[in-house]
């Protein structure tokens, strides 16, 4: 090991690579995050983050919503913030959109800068891009989101002139990167997409909890409401919105025509579509809905929205014993501790 002479009385070993890395991590962990913005919202652009359980229909809803908004004369930017990179697939008829993460990596290796035309594409007035995510097992999805937004800022994100910017976020994941728009006031309001099932409402409730948590820290983001997708009429999602205090922005029925067209990458949010009026109303509600202060439910309150036979209530929790754990009778052994009589 190399030694360094400090003075005549002191000899200290040079720090190892592991110690240097440890000290660097400690220093990084000790840094306080940027304070949450507490001032008034000044942007004319409405930046809206949409959250929901994976597979609940966020991308379907957003592709059709953004298309309808563009048909109504609005300038719309749709940003996919899900590592699956499926937000824009319906909009572009099933074609994959090059992601910001993979494009920036490729450009960096080639010594080139990312240009807006490398990552942003348009169809019928809708501008769209995908942040992307790391390869499976090779990185943090949340960190990828942060890197993607850093790249957007370098491309001039804050100077772009859109009426609406719609951010499609995965709601199952609760790490910091996916909560970025709420934590850093990057959006003015949040919309949740859910259905009449426990898992999607569990995610919606978590999003409401996150919004309220950051509001207590001085944030300004609120929940504008819920889009009920695949609505089968059982009413649990409607009951959830009433319980937490947010409106229903639209209820998209569980209809086979919608399912088939979505599976075939067909946009139904057009004025000529049989479903055009539904998405036109959704577009208006999304634009007008103010951010609300939701009251998240407890776990028992959430379960209370469902019938007992649907969630397994009535089951008694029976504590396990050591005999159960070891598979044999347990003999109590006397303690060897010496106990002295008190005087």
**Residue 171: pLDDT over 60:** yes
Residues 76 and 70: beta-carbon distance below 8 Å = yes
Q: Which residues, 6+ apart, have CB-to-CB distance to 34 below 8 Å?
A: 184
**Residue 246: pLDDT over 50:** yes
Residue 294's pLDDT is: 93
**Which domains are seen in the chain, by residue range?**
46-303 (3.40.50.300)
Residue 322's pLDDT is: 87
Q: How many CA atoms lie within 13 A of 227 on its CB side?
A: 30
- Tell me which residues are annotated as active site: 53, 58, 84, 172
Angle in degrees, CA 309, 315, 319, rounded to 5: 160
Both structure tokens of 300: 């028992």
Mean predicted lDDT score pLDDT of the chain: 83
**Residue 321: pLDDT over 60:** yes
Q: Pick the closest to residue 76 from 62, 97, 61 (CA basis).
A: 62
Residue 142's pLDDT is: 63
pTM score over 0.85: no
Average confidence (pLDDT) over 294-308: 87
Average confidence (pLDDT) over 130-153: 71
155 vs 227, which has greater pLDDT? 227
- φ and ψ at 310, to 5 degrees? -85, -25
Assign 55 a pLDDT band (cuts: 50, 70, 90).
confident
- φ and ψ at 333, to 5 degrees? -100, 135
Residue 172's pLDDT is: 66
37 vs 322, which has greater pLDDT? 322
Residue 100's pLDDT is: 87
Rounded alpha-carbon distances, angstroms, from residue 116 to 98, 191, 195 = 12, 27, 36
Both structure tokens of 218: 């001085």
Residues 214 and 181: beta-carbon distance below 8 Å = no
Q: What is the rounded CA–CA span in Å between residue 257 and residue 21?
A: 57
Q: What is the rounded CA–CA span in Å between residue 108 and residue 89?
A: 26
What is the DSSP track for 187-239?
SSEEEEEE-SSHHHHHHHHHHHHHHHHHHHTT---EEEEEEEEEE-S--HHHH
Q: What is the DSSP letter of 16?
A: P
Tens of pLDDT, residues 182-222 = 877 778 999 999 999 999 999 999 999 999 988 888 888 99
Assign 15 a pLDDT band (cuts: 50, 70, 90).
confident
Q: What is the rounded CA–CA span in Å between residue 102 and residue 135?
A: 10
Q: Is 150 helix (H, G, I), strand (E, B) or coil?
A: helix
Residue 38's pLDDT is: 47
**Residue 97: pLDDT over 70:** yes
- Percent with pLDDT over 90 in the chain: 43
Residue 177's pLDDT is: 63
Q: What is the rounded CA–CA span in Å between residue 254 and residue 237?
A: 14
Residue 313's pLDDT is: 62
**Residue 52: pLDDT over 80:** yes
Q: What is the rounded CA–CA span in Å between residue 154 and residue 330?
A: 66
64-73, 129-138, 287-296: segment of lowest average pLDDT: 129-138
Both structure tokens of 9: 């009385």
Q: Helices 58-71 and 276-288 sit at what angle, rounded to 10 degrees?
A: 90
């Amino acid at each position: 090991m190399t030694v360094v002479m400090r003075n005549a009385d002191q000899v200290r070993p040079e720090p190892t690579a592991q110690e240097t890395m440890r000290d660097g991590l400690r220093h990084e962990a000790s840094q306080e995050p940027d304070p949450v913005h507490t001032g008034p919202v000044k942007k004319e652009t409405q930046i809206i983050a949409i959250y929901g359980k994976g597979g609940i229909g966020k991308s379907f809803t957003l592709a059709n919503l953004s298309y309808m908004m563009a048909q109504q004369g609005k300038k719309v930017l749709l940003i996919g913030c899900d590592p699956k990179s499926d937000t824009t697939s319906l909009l572009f008829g099933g074609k994959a959109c090059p992601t910001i993460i993979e494009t920036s990596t490729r450009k960096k290796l080639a010594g080139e800068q990312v240009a807006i035309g490398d990552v942003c594409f348009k169809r019928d007035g809708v501008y769209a891009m995908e942040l992307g995510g790391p390869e499976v097992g090779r990185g943090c999805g949340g960190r990828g989101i942060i890197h993607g937004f850093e790249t957007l800022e370098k491309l001039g994100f804050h100077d772009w002139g859109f009426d609406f910017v719609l951010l499609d976020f995965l709601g199952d994941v609760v790490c910091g990167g996916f909560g970025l728009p709420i934590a850093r006031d990057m959006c003015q309001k949040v919309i949740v997409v859910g259905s009449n099932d426990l898992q999607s409402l569990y995610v919606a409730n978590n999003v409401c909890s996150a919004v309220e948590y950051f509001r207590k820290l001085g944030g300004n983001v609120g929940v504008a409401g819920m889009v009920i997708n695949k609505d089968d009429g059982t009413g649990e999602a409607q009951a959830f919105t009433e319980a937490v205090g947010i409106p229903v922005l639209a209820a998209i029925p569980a209809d086979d025509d919608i399912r088939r067209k979505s599976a075939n990458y067909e946009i139904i949010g057009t004025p000529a579509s049989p479903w055009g009026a539904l998405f036109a109303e959704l577009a208006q509600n999304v634009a007008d809905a103010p951010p609300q202060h939701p009251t998240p439910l407890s776990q028992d309150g959430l379960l209370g929205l469902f019938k007992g036979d649907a969630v397994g209530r009535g089951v008694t929790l029976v504590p396990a014993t050591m005999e159960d754990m070891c598979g044999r009778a347990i003999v109590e052994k006397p303690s060897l501790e010496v106990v002295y009589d008190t005087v």
